[in-house]
């Protein structure tokens, strides 16, 4: 929880936190920044929103219909700008110098290779280039996988 995260960072009893972070969920960004100031390492997870950013409407859980248009808008942005869907979440995560490690879930070895290959081609210059995509806030029902059942 956000309260617990704030407490453990301020008390300094830990040396690492792990929080969700992605293009659609940056509610922990202030804690990531605060952790850096206290020399606490930060790992982020869920950069692909548990794979939801790749799904088509037919594979989407009906429970999330109200947010599907926002995901579709992101997919359409990627198509229009000729950007593979997986690249922006990686770029967004790598641009934040306060993030120490990124945990990426993959379905298979080829996805892992593709992600790592993309990362290996990046330079500091490329990371500083702005790709103008504004973060979109999704409902708590979709950004919190505990509410998916």
Question: Per the confidence metrics, is the pTM higher than 0.95?
Answer: no
Q: Considering the chain, what percentage of its residues have pLDDT values greater than 70? A: 86
Torsion angles phi and psi, residue 58, rounded to 5: -70, -25
Query: Considering only CA atoms, which of 102, 82, 86 is closest in space to residue 94?
Result: 102
CB of 40 closer than 8 Å to CB of 64: no
Predicted confidence at residue 21, as pLDDT, reads 92
Name the region of 134 (left: φ>0; alpha: ψ -120 to 50; beta: rest): beta
Query: Considering only CA atoms, which of 44, 49, 37 is closest in space to residue 18?
Result: 44
Q: Is pLDDT at 3 greater than 80 in this prediction?
A: yes
Predicted confidence at residue 32, as pLDDT, reads 94
Predicted confidence at residue 148, as pLDDT, reads 66
Predicted confidence at residue 18, as pLDDT, reads 93
State mean pLDDT over 37-49.
93
CA distance between the termini of the chain: 19
Average pLDDT over the chain reads 84
85-95 pLDDT tens trace? 999 899 888 88
50-82 pLDDT tens trace? 888 898 878 777 777 777 888 888 899 889 888
What residues contact 53, with CB distance under 8 A and at least 6 apart? 22, 23, 24, 71, 74, 75, 85, 89
Q: Is pLDDT at 13 greater than 90 in this prediction?
A: no
Q: Is pLDDT at 139 greater than 60 in this prediction?
A: yes
105-127 pLDDT tens trace? 899 999 999 999 998 888 655 65
């Amino acid at each position: 929880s956000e309260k617990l995260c704030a407490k453990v960072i301020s008390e300094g009893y830990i040396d690492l936190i792990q929080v969700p972070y992605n293009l659609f969920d940056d509610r922990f960004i202030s804690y990531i920044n605060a952790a850096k100031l206290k020399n606490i390492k930060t790992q982020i997870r869920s950069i692909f929103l548990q794979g939801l950013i790749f799904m088509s409407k037919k594979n989407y859980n009906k429970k999330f219909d109200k947010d599907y248009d926002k995901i579709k808008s992101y997919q359409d942005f990627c198509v229009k700008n000729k950007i593979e869907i997986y690249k922006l979440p990686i770029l967004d995560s790598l641009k934040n110098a306060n993030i120490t490690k990124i945990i990426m879930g993959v379905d298979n070895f080829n996805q892992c290779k593709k992600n790592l290959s993309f990362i290996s081609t990046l330079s500091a210059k490329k990371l500083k280039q702005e790709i103008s995509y504004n973060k979109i806030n999704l409902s708590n029902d979709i950004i919190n996988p505990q509410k998916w059942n």
